């Protein structure tokens, strides 16, 4: 290592997803092999940065992690400006800045979803840290990028679950409601619902009319189709918000399941996929995306760039100013091809 080579830190923050270790590996290996940099990984997201907990990343620690789920660095939803410490909530931005300089870092790579992009922006505004971010989340809702890593694998998992629900739905002649994660967006539900052949797909972007869904299920039953699959995003909401009683707050799918059973008289069951969707080995597409964005991040650091998220755009890894990203959320636009295809197929979207 030469005297003028750089040192960089990496952290993973927010909910975990598949491809995080591929991204850590991509950043660290490119930094070491191509630019002779030193690399450390902060543990448990922004908390590790504030508490100066880190490990050196090289050789063995980067071997065999490409295919691993989760993150070898650990993660947390802690925010640097509002961190719980004992019974207090404190601003740790000055601590984070001091640790960054104490370790003689030239840049920090923050890997996370929408919340992480906002937290990185806060650090950029209040310190002189150099920061590059990467977009990860199963929700696929980070603004400014065509895709986030984690999403492809989660779509596969949800699709397999819907495939498996078909046979039991068919044997018992039931309506099977499946709740799919995705926070306040419907990317995961729309994609896995399409790939799994769901009959009804309910997403937050299209507030649902319960009567429309009822008619669709009864219509199928009358045509002799004795089972139905209803894919519901966890953030789904009825057209009339007052319709969700307090006992079902936080579970639109549970409410929908009970109401559909009442309204249709059909036997109905709910399956909630939950955190299973974030577990296990990443798909090839997620490994490739995470590596592509991770290695590009290092190229930007080598060029002394800061304040960018590396986005996927048209198949290329492209730097986008973080100020354009932070605070925005990417929802499914109404004219998106995914929704157009679902409508063309006659899938009920509850609209
Ligand atoms: O952002 C990813 C995600 O899995 C969302 O789909 C979900 O709403 C949320 O995280 C769950 O968060 P937690 O892991 O904190 O329960």
% of the chain beyond a pLDDT of 90:
94
Per-residue 3-state assignment (H helix, E strand, C coil) for 224-287: CCCCEEEEEECCCCECCHHHCCHHHCCCHHHHHHHHHHHHHCCCEEEEECHHHHHCCCCCHHHH
Most informative mutation of 12, 13, 14, 15 for ligand 1 (most atoms within 8 A of CB):
15
CA of 15 to the centre of ligand 1 (A): 6
pLDDT of residue 3: 58
The range of the structural domain enclosing residue 242 comes to: 154-278
- Where helices occur in 69-226 by DSSP H, the ranges are 93-102, 114-126, 151-172, 187-196, 210-222
Q: What is the mean pLDDT of residues 314-324?
A: 98
CATH classification of the domain holding 101: 3.40.50.450
CATH classification of the domain holding 169: 3.40.50.460
Tens-place pLDDT, residues 28-66: 999 999 999 999 999 999 999 999 999 999 989 999 999
pLDDT band at 1 (very low <50, low <70, confident <90, very high): low
pLDDT of residue 248: 80
pLDDT of residue 2: 60
Residues 165 and 208 in one domain: yes
pLDDT band at 247 (very low <50, low <70, confident <90, very high): confident
Q: What is the mean pLDDT of residues 244-258?
A: 86
Residue 286 lies in a domain: yes
Residues 218 and 269 in one domain: yes
Strand, helix or coil for residue 293:
helix
Residue 247 CA to residue 330 CA, distance in Å, equals 30
Residues 145 and 160 in one domain: no
60 is catalytic: no
Name the residue at shortest CA distance from atom 11 of ligand 1.
15
Task: State the closest ligand 1 atom to the C-alpha of 278, by its place in the atom list counted from 1.
Answer: 4
Residues 94 and 206 in one domain: no
pLDDT of residue 326: 94
Residue 119 lies in a domain: yes
pLDDT of residue 269: 98
How many helices (H) does the chain have, and how many strands (E)? 12, 13
Most informative mutation of 79, 139, 150, 158 for ligand 1 (most atoms within 8 A of CB):
139
Tens-place pLDDT, residues 10-26: 999 999 999 999 999 99
- 35 alpha-carbon distance from chain centroid: 30
Residues 258 and 290 in one domain: no
CA of 140 to the centre of ligand 1 (A): 12
- Look at residue 258 and tell me whether its pLDDT is greater than 80: yes
Residues 230 and 138 in one domain: no
pLDDT band at 242 (very low <50, low <70, confident <90, very high): low
pLDDT of residue 245: 79
- Pocket of ligand 1 from Cβ distances under 6 Å: 15, 77, 113, 137-139, 181-183, 234, 278
> How many domains is the chain built from?
2
Residues 270 and 286 in one domain: no
Residues 57 and 165 in one domain: no
pLDDT of residue 200: 98
Q: What is the mean pLDDT of residues 143-169?
A: 98
Tens-place pLDDT, residues 92-123: 999 999 999 999 999 999 999 999 999 999 99
Residues 132 and 161 in one domain: no
CA distances for 292 relative to 43, 289, 309, 315, 333, angstroms: 23, 5, 13, 10, 26
Most informative mutation of 112, 181, 186 for ligand 1 (most atoms within 8 A of CB):
181
């Amino acid at each position: 290592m030469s005297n003028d080579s750089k040192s960089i830190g990496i952290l993973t923050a927010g909910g975990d997803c598949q491809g995080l270790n591929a991204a850590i590996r991509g950043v660290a290996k490119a930094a070491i092999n191509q630019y002779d940099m030193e690399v450390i990984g902060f543990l448990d997201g922004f908390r590790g940065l504030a508490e100066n907990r880190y490990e050196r990343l090289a050789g063995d620690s980067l071997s065999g992690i490409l295919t691993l789920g989760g993150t070898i660095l650990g993660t947390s939803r802690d925010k640097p400006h509002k961190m719980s410490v004992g019974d207090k909530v404190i601003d740790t931005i000055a601590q984070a800045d001091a640790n960054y300089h104490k370790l003689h870092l030239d840049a920090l790579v923050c890997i996370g979803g929408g919340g992480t992009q906002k937290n990185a922006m806060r650090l950029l505004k209040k310190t002189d840290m150099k920061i590059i971010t990467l977009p990860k989340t199963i929700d696929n809702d980070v603004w400014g990028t065509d895709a986030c890593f984690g999403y492809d694998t989660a779509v596969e998992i949800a699709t397999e679950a819907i495939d498996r629900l078909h046979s039991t739905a068919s044997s018992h002649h039931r309506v099977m409601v499946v709740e799919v994660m995705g926070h306040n967006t419907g990317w995961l539900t729309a994609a896995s619902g399409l790939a799994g052949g769901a009959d009804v797909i309910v997403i937050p972007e299209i507030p649902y009319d319960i009567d429309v869904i009822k008619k669709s299920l009864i219509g199928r039953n009358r045509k002799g189709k004795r089972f139905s699959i209803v894919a519901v995003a966890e953030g789904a909401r009825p057209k009339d918000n007052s319709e969700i009683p307090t006992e079902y707050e936080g579970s639109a799918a549970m409410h929908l399941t009970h109401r559909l059973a009442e309204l249709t008289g059909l036997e109905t069951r709910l399956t909630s996929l939950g955190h299973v969707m974030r577990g296990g080995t990443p798909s090839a597409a997620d490994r490739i995306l995470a590596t592509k964005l991770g290695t590009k991040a290092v190229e930007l650091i080598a060029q002394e760039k800061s304040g960018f998220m590396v986005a996927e755009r048209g198949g290329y890894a492209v730097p986008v100013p973080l100020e354009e990203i932070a605070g925005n959320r990417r929802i499914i636009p109404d004219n998106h091809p995914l929704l157009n295809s679902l409508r063309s197929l006659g899938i009920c979207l509850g609209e």
